[in-house]
Structure 1
Amino acid sequence: MDGCVTTSDGVRLHVESRGEGPPILFVAGYTATAASWAFQADSVVAAGYRAVILDRRWHGESDRPAHGHRIARHAADVREVIGALDLERPLLVGASMGASVCWSCLDIFGCAAVRGMIGIDQTPKMVNADGWPFGFYGLDETNLGTFFAEGVPPTGRGRPLEASMAAAIALQQRVGEARLSDPITPDTRALLDDHARQDWRDVIAVADVPMLLIAGQDSQLWPADHAPAAVASSRRARAALIADCGHAANIDRPEAVSDLIITFARGI
């Protein structure tokens, strides 16, 4: 079932809902659409869960307002979707920037309204620094202001694009004419810049909710060691590594990601 939620600042957000059971709320990454979660939605519904899939503002079929290009506003959108749909303590699953949005939601609104959170291949701190070599390859304080001027730059690292083609084609065949991602435009540059400046390590450390950080072993964006490093100071978070997998883990290795989501959901 497709529907929409209108936010407190008047933005219509497209939301898909399938199945019945405990809700799992999926939040995709930068430019990715709800359709990118098709295989995970199939799996969790078959396992007895309700899949709720959000198109964030400026993503997919949601509105494209001139305002709200901040992670905190996107987090507020997630919280308002939870309230509008009366979701009872959903499990949040965020991929890439979607994980940043979920961490922001926990940071601003607390953990009481959710059962847990899964972050998929998103380092909690994108800027490399002394003591933190697990950020975006090549990004540090000296180039932060211009690094994403033309969008997300290629790094020349990780899983080759051609290695992911078969999986991407399979997903496109599954969703038909639905688009899996939107083009990068200057309109959302502010959102990308805001995302790059965040540091969620303290949120992970203190969040009183079960948390799983999944890393793609061959991520093109950052070292997979970001996940175990991020959970080292948390008593409720753990890390998982998916082999033969790039940054778009839910596309590269859909079954592995689905299995981790379902196993985690059953254990909390």
Structure 2
Amino acid sequence: MTSFITSDKVKLSYTDQGDGQAVILLTGYAGVKEEWYYQSACLLELGFRVIALDWRCHGASTHTAKNLKIMRLAADLHELILNLKLRGVRLIGHSMGGSVIWAYTVLFGYQNIDCIIIIDESPKLFNDEGWSGGLVNLKWDNLLMISEQIPFLKMNKQPIDNELRVILNGVKKLNPFDFDLGHELLIDHLLQDWCQVVRDIKVPQLFVKGACTSIWGKGYLDYCEQLNNEFTTLVTLNNVGHMPQVEDYKSFNSNIISFIKG
């Protein structure tokens, strides 16, 4: 495990293993880089260079209230790529990590991106008259109430493999996530709208949906069914919820490897 200091003086922790073409693994809100345990092992075996990042305020990175914004996380990702002098990276983002990838394309374009994989993330978490595919029941009049309930939502349908559970419990005991400290980031995440950004994607994008995900509104399914276009391919994994990469890592790995290898 290593780290670097961002331009706004925050230490970010990451792992960097293997050689070959780089794959960067990005967690969702309150996640830790160790969640990618089975993906890292699989990608390394296939000869990829595997990099997993802890966001600011997450995991082994500095826990700080400084610049807790999605756009700043996208800048952190950009600085990681520059620090490691990477070209043609493959970005894999779960939930909020997917939101950060979309933000990255807005700020920095596609020059360093070979392909994108987004895992079970709505492009707009806020529901309004024209959109019902956001977080269940999230509207302007209940923003604070819903945001406080999010840490208690059941995200997965299938239990996490015991080997991975032991690893994650150890990591989270050592570096517990501070939900009060991270609340500003969560609010910023909830207010983003990436619908147009997703329509404008200019590199191959794989969208992985959990068939039993329960946190999104009814319009999310319609959105997913419309995703298949020139650049985006939809894959739905059966009998899993919001975290398919840990609930059914074998099926998940098989799909992402097929996509990455083209």
TM-score, with length taken from structure 1: 0.89
1:231 equivalent among 211, 214, 227: 227
Task: Give the drift of 1:151.
Answer: 4.3
Give the match for residue 52 of structure 2: 53
Tell me what 2:31 maps to: 32
Instruction: Assess if the C-alpha contact under 8 Å between 2:156 and 2:247 holds in 1.
Output: no
Q: Secondary structure at the match of 1:24?
A: strand
1:205 equivalent among 175, 189, 199? 199
Kept in 2, the 8 Å contact 1:121–1:214? The answer is yes
- Render the CA deviation track for 1:216-252: whole Å, top value 9, x for unaligned: 11113115616525625x5311211010101111110
Give the aligned partner of residue 237 of structure 2: 242
Match of 2:246 in 1: 251
SS at match of 1:202: helix
Q: CA deviation at 1:91?
A: 0.5
Please tell me whether residue 170 in structure 1 is matched to residue 163 in structure 2: yes
1:74 matched residue in structure 2: 73
**Structure 2: which amino acid aligns with 1:170?**
E
Q: Within the alignment, does 1:220 sit opposite 2:214 as a pair?
A: yes
Q: What's the counterpart of residue 264 of structure 1?
A: 259
For 1:105-144, list aligned pairs within 5 A: 105-144=104-143
Write the distance in 1 (CA, Å) between the matches of 2:190 and 2:129: 17
TM-score, with length taken from structure 2: 0.91
CA contact under 8 A between 1:31 and 1:182: conserved in structure 2? no
1:231 aligned partner, one-letter code: L
**CA-CA distance at 1:169 after TM superposition:** 2.0
Say which SS state the counterpart of residue 77 (structure 2) adopts. Answer: helix
Structure 1 unaligned residues grouped into runs of 5+: none
Q: For the residues of structure 1 that align with 2:188 and 2:252, how far apart are their CA atoms?
A: 27
Q: How many Å separate the matches in 2 of 1:262 and 1:86?
A: 24
Change (3 A) 1:47 1:226: farther
Contact 1:151 1:189 in 2 (8 A): no
CA change 1:250–1:121 in 2 (3 A) is same
Matched residue count: 259
Deviates more, 1:122-131 or 1:241-250: 122-131
Query: Unaligned regions of 5+ residues in structure 2, if any?
Result: none
- In 1: Cα distance, 2:63 partner to 2:165 partner: 24
Kept after mapping to 2: 8 A contact 1:151/1:184? no
CA contact (8 A) 1:124 1:230 kept: no
Q: Taking structure 1 as reference, are residues 132 and 95 closer, same or farther at Cα in structure 2, changes over 3 Å only?
A: same
CA distance in 1, matches of 2:183, 2:169: 29
**Contact map agreement 2:156 2:240 (CA 8 A) in 1:** yes
- The CA distance in 2 between the partners of 1:55 and 1:205, in whole Å, is 28
Q: Determine if contact 1:121/1:213 at 8 Å carries over to the other structure.
A: yes
Which AA in structure 2 matches 1:171?
Answer: L
Report the Cα distance in structure 2 between the residues aligned to 1:110 and 1:226, rounded to whole angstroms. Answer: 27
8 A contact 2:11–2:62 mirrored in 1 = yes
Matched residues in 1 for 2:167 and 2:64: separation? Answer: 30
1:26 and 1:240 map into 2 onto residues whose CA distance is 18
Does the 8 Å CA contact 2:34/2:167 hold for their aligned counterparts?
no
In structure 2, the partner of 1:185 is: 179
Deviates more, 1:97-106 or 1:121-130: 121-130
Letter in 2 for 1:191: L
Shift of 1:65: 2.2
